Amino acid sequence: MTAPSSKRDANRRGQGRRRGNRPERSDRSAGAIAQPAWKPVTYHVAPTEILVPDAIERIHQAGLAILQEIGIKVLGQDARDAYAAAGFDVDDTSELVRFDSTGLMETLATIPAEFSLRARNPQKNLRIGGKHAAFCSVGGPAYCMDLEQGRRRGTYKEMCDFIRLVQSLDILHQEGGGGFEALDLPADTRHLDLFLAQATLMDKNWVPWNMGTEQTIDALTMGAMMMAESVETLAEKDPLFVGVVNTNSPLQLDIPMAEGLMTLAAHGQVAIITPFTLAGAMAPITLAGTLAQQHAEAMAGLALTQIIRPGVPAMYGAFSSNVDMRTGSPAFGTPEYTQAAQISGQLARRLGVPLRSSNTTAANAPDAQAAYESMMSLWGAMGGQANIIKHAAGWVGGGLTASYEKLIIDAEMLQMMAAQCEPPEVSDATLALDAIRDVGPAGHYFGTEHTLARYEDAFYTPLVSNWDNYETWLEGGSETAERKANRVWKQLLGEYEKPPIDAGIEEALNDFVARRKRGEAV
């Protein structure tokens, strides 16, 4: 995968030392926001294995036992019929589906360990699974928030700005679903406006909404139009979409989610089966029990993808956290969350299925708490070697709010996480014995040839961080990270350039949305 070749991208500061294609200094637009060039993330270290293999096996076996002995309640007749046709034990009265462990493991065995995900710009295609990771922006919140206006119901115009920012931030490999809902639009057609914005304002891969068959088909239709393809042949190529399928924990799969799952899978698209297992509320208060339940629910959903279309890519979604037992509020980015993310990596690898994790926080403002809870989430996710990190940028307030400033602060954290994943070069040139000899004891390296040849791109350049000394920082107005982030997103939005799109495709997408809103057959 190479860096996108657009003119705008060439203006950015690349991490030349790591990529071997250091851009010339003159290429940079004066004053433009400097970012490392687009680059997928690759894990080079071993995953964090906090549990010994025997303990992982016990959780896995507990997950199997839950599905064999208790089963999962599946509300949709279509989904139950599919399970029954595959030979699993379905009781239409109780709506319970039970799974013999051997049959279940055989069913799961067809899930690919890796797959590719296409974007409108093929240079932004993604590889998912194995040692590959992609950062995906926040999706799902009901509210938006910024420093000036505080938390509020977001509009379509604001949502489009959020999407433009996601497009502009090269560290974000994938867009996660609009950031927040455009609550000024009618609820029943809002998804069409979202898909239109995703398809036309960006050229990255994007995550659609997939609640129920109709919404999912709309996504597939517009995705196919965007690629100048047809829905019928989508499954013949690499998938365009990952869609999130939450189980209704404990142990229930509802109709809209099952419909979304089956529609995605039938068309060769990727369902991320994500149990929403909050320990102490929808799952046992013990982490082992919560993970056993998560594992059971994930396996049940994953099995349905393979029943619908054997071999279709699917993902293990990990979202276990805990509630505050005093208040019932969900907690995020806690030590338990971090461990759950790491252990979920072990469980997903047990199945050989790509993993999704998240960047979460309960903080209601982009302050120190938001940063340290997000960092706990990110290190957990990346220690678990998650292949997609959802909500990687912009999430605050337990996922109820998308913050423009947090989007930028998270982008900084993601840039740092990506940079620290790349091992430094160890060679004669970088070991620098000649430079050390030339400088000698008590000298300094500022003006040496070794330094001058490398100083432009030697180090990570921050997006938000202020490294000034105290006096300079004070003179500059004692700007906090939140206020700096506010300036950065506004500048980025000003610098946004809409990626090129075929005029016929854009017209067709607009036309489709207009006709669907009028209730016409499409």
- The contact mask relative to a second copy for 482-521 (x = CB under 8 A, - = no) is x--x------------------------------------
The footprint of a second copy on this chain (CB under 8 A) covers a number of residues equal to 126
Span 377-406, contacts to a second copy by CB under 8 A: 379-380, 397-398, 400-401
Question: Contacting a second copy (CB under 8 A), which of 110, 125, 480, 491?
Answer: 480
In 280-354, the DSSP E strands lie at 314-317, 321-323, 330-331
For the CB of residue 57, give the shortest distance to a second copy in the complex, in Å. 10
How many Å apart are CA 246 and CA 254, to the nearest integer?
9
For the CB of residue 78, give the shortest distance to a second copy in the complex, in Å. 18
Nearer to a second copy, 161 or 412 (CB): 412
For the CB of residue 446, give the shortest distance to a second copy in the complex, in Å. 6
Our finding on whether 473 is near a second copy (CB under 8 A) is: yes
Our finding on whether 442 is near a second copy (CB under 8 A) is: yes
Element (H, E) at 483: helix 481-495
Span 238-257, contacts to a second copy by CB under 8 A: 248, 250-252
For the CB of residue 478, give the shortest distance to a second copy in the complex, in Å. 7
Our finding on whether 183 is near a second copy (CB under 8 A) is: no
How many Å apart are CA 277 and CA 287, to the nearest integer?
10
Our finding on whether 451 is near a second copy (CB under 8 A) is: yes
Neighbours of 375 (CB within 10 A): 17
For the CB of residue 207, give the shortest distance to a second copy in the complex, in Å. 24
Our finding on whether 101 is near a second copy (CB under 8 A) is: no
Question: Contacting a second copy (CB under 8 A), which of 16, 284, 352, 499?
Answer: 284
DSSP letter for each residue of 391-459: T-SSEEGGGTEEEHHHHHHHHHHHHHHHHHHSPPP-SHHHH-HHHHHHH-TT---TT-HHHHTTTTTSS
Our finding on whether 458 is near a second copy (CB under 8 A) is: yes
Span 263-282, contacts to a second copy by CB under 8 A: 279-282
Nearer to a second copy, 170 or 412 (CB): 412
Measured torsion, CA atoms of residues 328, 330, 334, 336, in degrees rounded to the nearest 10? 70
How many Å apart are CA 414 and CA 40, to the nearest integer?
12
Residue keyed to tokens 């109780």: 94
Q: Chain centroid to CA 471: how far?
A: 39
Q: What are phi and psi of 381, to 5 degrees?
A: -60, -45
**What are the tokens at 93?**
């009265």
Among residues 40, 133, 44, which one has the least CA distance to residue 355?
A: 133
Nearer to a second copy, 442 or 521 (CB): 442
Question: Contacting a second copy (CB under 8 A), which of 200, 263, 322, 387?
Answer: 322
Nearer to a second copy, 216 or 246 (CB): 246
Find the part of the chain contacting a second copy (CB under 8 A) among 218-226, 233-241, 262-270, 330-338.
Answer: 330-338
Question: Contacting a second copy (CB under 8 A), which of 77, 465, 504, 511?
Answer: 465
CB 225 within 8 A of CB 512: yes
Span 148-167, contacts to a second copy by CB under 8 A: 151
Our finding on whether 16 is near a second copy (CB under 8 A) is: no
Span 34-73, contacts to a second copy by CB under 8 A: 44-46, 48-52, 55, 58-59, 62, 65-66, 69-73
Nearer to a second copy, 220 or 411 (CB): 411
Nearer to a second copy, 50 or 261 (CB): 50
Q: Chain centroid to CA 226: how far?
A: 21
Our finding on whether 136 is near a second copy (CB under 8 A) is: no
**What are the tokens at 87?**
């030979």
User: Reduced to 3 states, what is the DSSP secondary structure of residue 206?
Assistant: strand
CB 200 within 8 A of CB 503: no
Our finding on whether 169 is near a second copy (CB under 8 A) is: no
Our finding on whether 194 is near a second copy (CB under 8 A) is: no
Span 341-370, contacts to a second copy by CB under 8 A: 343, 362-370
Our finding on whether 234 is near a second copy (CB under 8 A) is: no
For the CB of residue 192, give the shortest distance to a second copy in the complex, in Å. 29
CB 321 within 8 A of CB 283: no
List Cβ neighbours of 19 (8 Å cut-off, separation of 6 or more): 3, 37, 39
Element (H, E) at 474: helix 470-475
Our finding on whether 455 is near a second copy (CB under 8 A) is: yes
Our finding on whether 96 is near a second copy (CB under 8 A) is: yes
Neighbours of 251 (CB within 10 A): 22
Nearer to a second copy, 198 or 277 (CB): 277
Nearer to a second copy, 186 or 335 (CB): 335
Nearer to a second copy, 163 or 331 (CB): 331
For the CB of residue 118, give the shortest distance to a second copy in the complex, in Å. 30
The residue type found at 159 is: M
CB 163 within 8 A of CB 169: no
C-alpha distance across the termini of the chain, in Å: 36
Among residues 416, 491, 392, which one has the least CA distance to residue 165?
A: 491
Percent of the chain as helix, strand, coil, to the nearest 5 = 45, 15, 40
- The contact mask relative to a second copy for 291-320 (x = CB under 8 A, - = no) is -xx---------------------------
